[in-house]
Structure 1
Amino acid sequence: SKISKHLEDYITKNSNIIDIENTEEKINDAIFYRDVNYIIYIPKNYGKDFLSNKNPLVEVKSTGDYQSSLASLLLERYLLSANAYLEDNITEEDLINKIDETLENKTEVELTTKLDTTGLSKATSYYNFSNYCLLGGSIYVICLILSSFQNINIRKRTIISSMNDKK
């Protein structure tokens, strides 16, 4: 039907469609090996059932990653727009035209920041490498202290003192 073809055209325009063999094994393999992220099953007589308010179920299979979530949002946006315009006596062409008008509305999002990234990169470099300097200095001081106990005079004094050498 025209509405099924229009849905397919909308998904094709907004995502990358890959043709795979239409067997359950090939479909499952494509999802498992991440050749595809989202598969949409449009049932037969979808257009007639949709126009007669039977709410036909569109089945999907997905990998569950962010790309399949994006495809899910595209499908949901289309179906919600189509359901919003669905009336008792609307023709398929009028429905498609109204869906097109709605889906043509896009919003540009521009991310801006007032954060000074050059100063931030200097600070991150400092904090990333300062721990190595602190660790090196700590090891040096500990080694100096431990090596001072190896001095022969301090060692003899420690052996004579009341402290047990074996503990």
Structure 2
Amino acid sequence: MAGRPEVAKTELGERLRAIRKTMGDLDREEFASRLGISAQVLGKIERGDSEPDLAVLAAYRSEFGVDLNWLATGEGEMFSANSPTAITIPAARTIGTTIDWVGKLVFQVYRDEKVAVPQGAAIGIVSAKVVELMQHAGPSVVDLNNVAALLPWLEMKIRAELKEAADQPGTGKHSA
């Protein structure tokens, strides 16, 4: 069964949908829950079939830092300048991109080294490598150029760890 098209009937509905998209296109259920409404109600207000009440507008402000002037008029910035959300959205995008890059790197190195990723361990391995990269980068981790510059370092580190594990008897880390 096909879902309804993502076309809003009102400018307010368009702006409400734009918020969720900007936040990384969060799942409707999760987003609605944070607003204290059902996914069905969220769908209706994003389509422009109904308007949010004051409690929902307040939740947009408190949960996501949405500038209510922008929401009402479309003028100004989507997020309040002093909102923690205004700071965390770019950081979330950087973290998401970093996770993607590190995940691809981990799988490529394991494939190149002919080592099987242990079943059910992929998320843990990628997460650990993301944390290592972020710790090594320090505050510069918020800049994707700095993250990209550290990927060769991480690749060499992963290759060295796999080689060391393969050289140790009984580790179970051997070529696939």
Q: Normalized against structure 2, the TM-score is what?
A: 0.27
**If you compute each CA radius of gyration, which structure gives the higher value, 1 or 2?**
1
- Give the structure with the higher percent helix: 2
Q: Normalized against structure 1, the TM-score is what?
A: 0.28
- With a CA cutoff of 8 Å and minimum separation of 6, indicate the structure with the bigger relative contact order: 1
